[in-house]
């Protein structure tokens, strides 16, 4: 299934649907030898029998397509419905082969081989052997019923014994080979998933600050560029805040860098908690809070005006001021200063960041523990 209709389905569903279409194509391909056998008089099913077989095969596949496309099959352990489809194909093949005789029957035994090939999509060796057992019992029952009811000569029994033994040997070997191939596919899939998870973890580690767990400067710069480009393209503004812990150098000098790290970790935790509300206010697709460097942090607020950003930062400043920063050196009072700026039309990210930095500088010069906006409020 391809085109606009297939775009409605996820990749796994599309793959399952393609397999069902492939199965239907296989059924239709066998119409050629079946038709030749009917024309040659090697089959007693006649053209009505061919039409009936085709109708049943198409109905089975259409039902499978409907179950998979609707999502109904996802309630089962095997959403692809592989085993039910193979069982249905085996029963159809056994019913059809009853109407063929002579060389035509020997040729149509290949239908079972085609059925077993579809097991490569996911059957285990045990499932393969169960299918082999069912096929062998079904073919043996048909052969005994036909020969015993017709007082067939010894040669006919030997021919059927030859066909039966060939069918059993081939399907058993296909069971082990198919199960082995299927196990390789499963291991490769598991390795691919593990590799994707590892790459995702590496990606996450590459954009995180090792100490605080917040986003690092590189990721914040990338996000700032993305938001700036989106703002220029769609006219959706955003605000940026630069935060600096007040007198952080004095904390390091008085208590040591280990205590300074403790303060940074606790400070980041408070910001992370408050950033949930900030993300909600700004309707951001992801958390846009990170450590910009040293004791400096950045918050990007998509879709947030300067006034809205100020409300968010004031709430954060109050949370930091009221929080008890308990360290190995005892409680340490912590406050921060912040500079905020809102993107102007067609403004580059560097210019916006520069204005936020200048506002932060004014906050420090104005006595710290405060916010400054750019442009300044009148």
pLDDT number for residue 7? 53
Q: Which residue has the higher pLDDT, 373 or 175?
A: 373
Please give the average per-residue pLDDT across 324-328, as a whole number.
Answer: 91
Model confidence band, residue 358 (pLDDT cutoffs 50, 70, 90): very high
Neighbouring residues of 363: CB distance < 8 A, sequence distance ≥ 6: 337, 338, 339, 370, 371, 372
Q: Say if CB 303 and CB 235 are below 8 A apart.
A: no
Question: What are the tens digits of pLDDT across the range 160-183?
Answer: 888 888 888 888 888 888 788 878
Q: What is the pLDDT of residues 47-98, one digit of tens each?
A: 888 888 888 888 888 888 898 888 888 888 888 888 888 888 888 888 888 8
Across the chain, what does the average pLDDT equal?
84
238-256 average pLDDT score: 94
Quote the pLDDT of residue 255. 92
Give the model confidence (pLDDT) of 193-217 as tens digits.
888 888 888 887 788 998 998 999 9
CATH of the domain at 292: 3.30.70.270
The reply to whether 245 and 193 lie within a common domain is: no
Instruction: Please report which confidence band the pLDDT of residue 2 belongs to, taking 50, 70 and 90 as the band edges.
Output: very low
pTM score of the predicted model: 0.56
* Domain stop point among 144, 171, 201: 201
DSSP characters for 188-210? HHHHHHHHHHHHHHHHHHHTB-T
**Count of residues in the chain:** 378
Distance between CA 223 and CA 282 in Å, rounded?
14
Of 139, 169, 201, the residue that ends a domain is 201
H or E element, residue 351: helix 349-365
Stronger pLDDT, 123 or 356, i.e. the higher one:
356
- Amino acid 277: pLDDT: 59
From the candidates 262, 295, 342, 372, give the one annotated as an active-site residue.
295
The answer to whether 341 and 359 have CB atoms below 8 angstroms apart is yes
344 phi and psi, to 5 degrees? Answer: -95, 160
Report whether pLDDT(230) > 90: no
Of 34, 30, 28, 29, which Cα lies nearest the Cα of 49?
34
Note whether 226 and 282 are same-domain residues.
yes
- DSSP class of residue 152 equals -
Q: How many structural domains are present in the chain?
A: 2
What's the pLDDT at 124?
A: 80
Quote the pLDDT of residue 3. 46
195 and 269 in a single domain? The answer is no
Give DSSP secondary structure letters for 41-91.
T-BSSHHHHHHHHHHHHHHHHHHHHHHHHTTGGGGSS-TT-HHHHHHHHHH
- Distance from the Cα of residue 325 to its chain's centroid: 41
3 state SS of 298: strand
Question: Tens of pLDDT along 259-308?
Answer: 999 999 999 999 988 876 554 443 444 558 999 999 999 999 988 889 98
Range of the domain at 164: 5-201
Is 296 labeled as catalytic in the residue annotation? Answer: no
Question: 145 and 84 share a domain?
Answer: yes
Residue 211 included in any domain: no
Can you read off the two tokens belonging to residue 286?
A: 């992801």
Rg (CA), the chain: 36
Please say whether the beta carbons of 290 and 214 come within 8 A: yes
CA distance 219 to 225: 10
Instruction: With residue 126 as reference, give the H or E element that holds it.
Output: helix 125-148
Residue 75's φ and ψ, nearest 5 degrees, are -75, -10
């Amino acid at each position: 299934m391809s085109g606009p209709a297939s775009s409605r389905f996820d990749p796994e569903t599309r793959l399952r649907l393609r397999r069902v279409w492939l199965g239907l194509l296989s059924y239709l391909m066998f119409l050629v030898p079946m038709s030749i056998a009917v024309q040659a008089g090697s089959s007693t099913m006649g053209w009505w029998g061919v039409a009936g077989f085709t109708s049943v095969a198409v109905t089975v596949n259409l039902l499978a397509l409907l179950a998979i496309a609707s999502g109904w099959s996802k309630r089962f352990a095997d959403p692809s419905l592989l085993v039910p489809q193979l069982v249905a194909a085996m029963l159809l093949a056994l019913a059809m082969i009853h109407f063929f005789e002579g060389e035509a029957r020997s040729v149509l035994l290949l239908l079972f081989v085609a059925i077993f090939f579809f097991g490569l999509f996911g059957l285990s060796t045990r499932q393969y052997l169960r299918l082999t057992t069912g096929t062998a019992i079904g073919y043996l029952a048909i052969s005994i019923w036909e020969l015993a009811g017709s007082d067939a000569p010894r040669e006919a029994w030997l021919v059927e014994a030859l066909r039966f033994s060939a069918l059993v040997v081939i399907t058993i070997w296909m069971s082990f080979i198919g199960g082995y191939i299927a196990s390789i596919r499963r291991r490769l899939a598991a390795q691919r998933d593990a590799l994707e998870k590892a790459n995702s973890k590496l990606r996450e580690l590459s954009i995180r600050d090792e100490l605080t767990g917040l986003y690092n400067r590189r990721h914040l710069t990338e996000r700032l560029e993305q938001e700036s480009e989106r703002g220029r393209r769609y006219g959706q503004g955003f605000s940026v805040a630069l935060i600096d812990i007040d007198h952080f150098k004095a904390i390091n000098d008085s208590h040591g860098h280990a205590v300074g790290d403790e303060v940074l970790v606790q400070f980041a935790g408070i910001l992370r908690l408050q950033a949930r509300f900030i993300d909600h206010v700004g309707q951001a697709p992801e958390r846009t809070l990170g450590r910009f460097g040293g004791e400096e942090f950045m918050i990007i607020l998509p879709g947030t005006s300067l006034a809205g950003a100020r409300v968010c930062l004031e709430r954060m400043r109050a949370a930091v001021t009221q929080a008890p920063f308990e360290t190995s050196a005892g409680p340490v009072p912590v406050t921060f200063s912040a500079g905020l700026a809102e993107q102007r039309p067609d403004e580059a990210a560097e210019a916006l960041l520069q204005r936020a930095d200048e506002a932060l500088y004014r906050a420090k010069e104005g006595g710290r523990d405060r916010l400054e906006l750019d442009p300044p409020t009148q």
